[in-house]
């Protein structure tokens, strides 16, 4: 115990020494570190030098690749079906993101769609029997079956939110129905100029029930616009998605957008995973609680997280004009 206390005192003195050095942006450009990717090097770093299937990720409806260190790329991978969400997809998304949550080498995720669109939404041909012919002998039993089915489908996208690693949605073409449920559960959304977003469920006679009605109002902060989109199923085009806050950036085409999303993931993955994952957890907690409750949770969180070696490494990198991508942080 005495050894641990001594080590803690040494670490505290080291951090104090680092913090008391004069730090200015002009003398220490490392204080404003950013990942700047340009030209051919940008494409190489953003796309990954050697694409490879991620170990332990083998799916029918998804393709998961390790595109660069600490970054995974999850693709909706039914391009011939416009990435429609079939029974297999609803199960595999949960499996995939539960594995990513436990993957201590992964620090950021990009999710996109293979082919011409992000997703056409629910695969009605595949899912019709579950919805139109539910199991059960009477109203009570049918209702219990449907409730269980809906809550399992809700988990398909809630699992993205529960994943402590930041998830970046990269949308091109149509993002329809369940696609809006999916992207609103992500942390950051980029889109290509050809993208559009459509809360389509009202056109097939139901209210969206796996996340859009709960998350979209919080994402864009405009209840009138949310109501309009949900009541009419009209398309929201890329420029409106940007101005409303649904996406943070719009790009000319899918390739440029994916490069930017992967570059962003690389920049995030260069930071302390203790800090990044703590930020995500606390942002989500604060979204659903009062300011006072959020501050109290944050204090309880950081009473332990401030004791990480990542803090010392990050401050030392800044004083030495060293980019964080060259700092080795332990796995988390």
Active site members:
122, 178, 181, 201, 209
Helices (H), 196-332: 212-220, 223-232, 238-244, 254-269, 273-287, 291-305, 309-319
φ, ψ for residue 164 (rounded to 5)?
-75, -10
Q: What phi and psi values does residue 307 have, to the nearest 5 degrees?
A: -90, 10
Backbone angle region of 83, left / alpha / beta, with phi > 0 → left and psi within -120 to 50 → alpha: left
Distance CA 220, CA 225 (A): 9
Q: If you search the block for the tokens 């009570």, which residue do you land on?
A: 140
Would you give the end-to-end CA distance of the chain in angstroms?
25
Report strand pairing: 236-237 vs 196-198: antiparallel
CA-nearest of 223, 120, 203, 122 to 213 is: 223
**Angle at 323 (CA atoms; ends 322, 327), nearest 5 degrees:** 85
């Amino acid at each position: 115990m005495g050894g641990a206390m001594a080590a803690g005192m040494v670490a505290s003195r080291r951090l104090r020494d680092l913090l008391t050095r004069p730090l200015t942006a002009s003398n220490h450009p490392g204080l404003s570190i950013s990942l700047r990717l340009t030209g051919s090097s940008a494409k190489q770093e953003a796309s990954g030098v050697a694409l490879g299937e991620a170990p332990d990720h083998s799916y029918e409806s998804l393709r998961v690749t390790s595109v660069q260190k600490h970054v995974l790329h999850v693709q909706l991978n039914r391009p011939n079906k416009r990435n429609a969400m079939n029974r297999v997809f609803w199960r595999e998304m949960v499996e995939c993101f539960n594995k990513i949550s436990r993957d201590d080498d992964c620090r950021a995720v990009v999710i996109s769609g293979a082919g011409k669109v992000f997703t056409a939404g629910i695969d009605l041909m595949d899912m019709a029997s579950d919805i139109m012919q539910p199991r059960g002998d009477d109203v009570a039993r049918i209702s219990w079956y449907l409730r269980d089915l809906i809550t399992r489908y809700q988990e398909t996208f809630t699992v993205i939110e529960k994943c402590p690693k930041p998830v970046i949605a990269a949308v091109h073409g149509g993002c329809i129905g369940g696609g809006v449920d999916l992207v609103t559960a992500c942390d950051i959304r980029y889109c290509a100029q050809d993208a559009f977003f459509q809360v389509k469920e009202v056109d097939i006679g139901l209210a969206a029930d796996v996340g859009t009605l709960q998350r979209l109002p919080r994402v864009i902060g405009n209840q009138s616009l949310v109501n309009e989109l949900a009541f009419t199923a009209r398309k929201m085009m890329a420029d409106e998605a940007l101005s409303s806050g649904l996406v943070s950036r719009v790009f000319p085409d899918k390739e440029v957008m994916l490069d930017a999303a992967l570059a962003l993931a690389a920049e995030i993955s260069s930071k302390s995973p203790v800090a990044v994952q703590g930020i995500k957890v606390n942002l989500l907690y604060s979204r659903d609680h009062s300011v006072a409750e959020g501050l109290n949770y944050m204090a309880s969180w950081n009473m332990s997280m401030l004791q990480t070696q990542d803090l010392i490494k990050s401050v030392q990198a800044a004083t030495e004009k060293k980019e964080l991508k060259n700092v080795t942080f332990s796995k988390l």
